[in-house]
């Protein structure tokens, strides 16, 4: 049984860039880097798909959704802190 390996983003970028240069075949890159050819093709496609967005200067939709989620979570945390303070005051009054 094989063990799943986790590769850094820098490693993936290096392999994808080498694949995009097309100086070597995917099979040659696979044996050189020790990564399955399907992964190399997947990383290359992802790199080519996301490359135009690097220079757009616009935040990605995914980033905007993350920012909205973070704002909502901070609001909930603030609300919970207020509720907790209120409960502490009330419990002191009952004691």
* Distance in angstroms (rounded) separating the CA atoms of residues 15 and 41: 10
Work out the angle at residue 50's Cα, subtended by the Cα atoms of residues 48 and 52, and round it to the nearest 5 degrees: 85
Cβ-based burial of 33 (10 A; exposed 0-12, middle 13-18, buried ≥19): middle
Q: Tell me what pLDDT residue 63 has.
A: 73
Task: Express each pLDDT in 7-46 by its tens digit.
Answer: 999 999 999 999 999 999 999 999 999 999 999 999 999 9
What is the model's pTM? 0.57
DSSP 24: S
Cβ-based burial of 37 (10 A; exposed 0-12, middle 13-18, buried ≥19): middle
């Amino acid at each position: 049984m094989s063990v799943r390996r986790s590769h850094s983003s820098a490693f993936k970028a290096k392999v994808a860039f080498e694949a995009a240069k097309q100086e070597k075949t995917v099979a040659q890159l696979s044996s050189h880097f020790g990564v399955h050819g399907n992964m190399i093709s997947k990383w290359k496609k992802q790199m080519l798909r996301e490359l135009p967005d690097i220079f757009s200067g616009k935040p990605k939709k995914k980033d905007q959704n993350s920012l909205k989620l973070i704002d909502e979570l901070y609001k909930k945390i603030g609300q919970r802190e207020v509720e907790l303070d209120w409960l502490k005051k009330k419990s002191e009054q009952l004691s």
